[in-house]
């Protein structure tokens, strides 16, 4: 199997310490939010910069927009995950894993509706560079692509003949490579998927859609979850 050297140096960045640090940062961010604030779109104006948008790592300070405020778009879900923005359609898609649906928010009128039901307990979503939606399905342990004609293409569902644990998050590189994590959370119980045996080690994979070849990128992490590329796409974490 070919080793992808441009990404080899980033293996250390995906270590357990980074995972724990990210979890702590998320907890601190939630704690920092105002407890009695109205986050609805009809809420009173917010004095800028929004006091509840907290920069925990100075490296991310440049990405904070001074005149943007937190707004609540929708409530009533059991577990919201996998937000993905479609720039052409100007809509936001996300998963409500336990309810087995995907929702869509339309920017033109702030309307939220069920986008896909059932969704096979989908978690992570993204769009490729052709505008097609990709999703990680816990319930079927697979990665799929929704085609423009309505068909569903299964991109990957096995590694070396054994089913995935439960693909979780997904990102696309400009070179066409589709990267996804397989920690197995969706198969550890029936709340966000179907309880079943985990037959392979947790790992991060890269799929080449042109050749359909699947590459194991890293498997020395404990339950890798979210994925993100740097702005120049040279690094990932």
What are the structural domains, with CATH classification, of the chain?
76-218 (2.120.10.30)
Q: What are phi and psi of 175, to 5 degrees?
A: -75, 0
Name all contacts of 90-97 with Cβ < 8 Å and 24+ positions apart. Answer: 93/125, 93/133, 94/125, 95/119, 95/122, 95/123, 95/124, 95/125, 95/135, 97/121, 97/122, 97/123, 97/138, 97/186, 97/192, 97/193
At residue 34, the pLDDT reads 53
pTM > 0.85: yes or no: no
Give the tens place of pLDDT for each residue, 206-219. Answer: 999 889 899 999 99
What is the Cα–Cα distance from 81 to 99, expressed in whole angstroms? 12
Give the tens place of pLDDT for each residue, 94-109. Answer: 999 999 999 999 989 9
- 229 contacts 206 by C-beta, under 8 angstroms: no
- 202 contacts 219 by C-beta, under 8 angstroms: yes
The H or E element that residue 6 is part of is helix 5-8
């Amino acid at each position: 199997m070919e080793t992808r050297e441009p990404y080899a140096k980033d293996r250390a960045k995906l270590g357990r310490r980074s995972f724990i640090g990210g979890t702590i940062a998320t907890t601190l961010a939630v704690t920092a939010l105002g407890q009695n604030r109205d986050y609805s779109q009809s809420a009173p104006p917010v004095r800028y910069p929004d006091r509840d948008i907290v920069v925990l790592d100075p490296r991310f300070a440049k990405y904070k927009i001074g005149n943007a405020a937190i707004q609540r778009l929708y409530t009533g879900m059991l577990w919201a995950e996998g937000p993905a923005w479609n720039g052409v359609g100007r809509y936001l898609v996300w998963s409500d894993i336990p309810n087995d649906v995907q929702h869509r928010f339309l920017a033109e009128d702030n309307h939220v509706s069920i986008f896909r039901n059932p969704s096979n307990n989908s978690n992570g979503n993204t769009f490729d560079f052709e505008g097609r939606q990709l999703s990680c399905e816990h319930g079927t342990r697979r990665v799929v692509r929704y085609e423009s004609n309505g068909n569903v293409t299964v991109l990957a569902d096995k590694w070396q003949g054994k089913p995935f644990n439960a693909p979780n998050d997904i990102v696309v590189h400009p070179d066409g490579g589709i990267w996804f994590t397989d920690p197995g959370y969706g198969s550890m119980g029936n709340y966000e998927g179907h309880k079943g045996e985990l037959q392979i080690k947790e790992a991060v994979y890269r799929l080449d859609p042109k050749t359909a070849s699947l590459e194991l990128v890293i498997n020395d992490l404990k339950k890798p979850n979210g994925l993100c590329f740097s702005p120049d796409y040279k690094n990932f974490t």
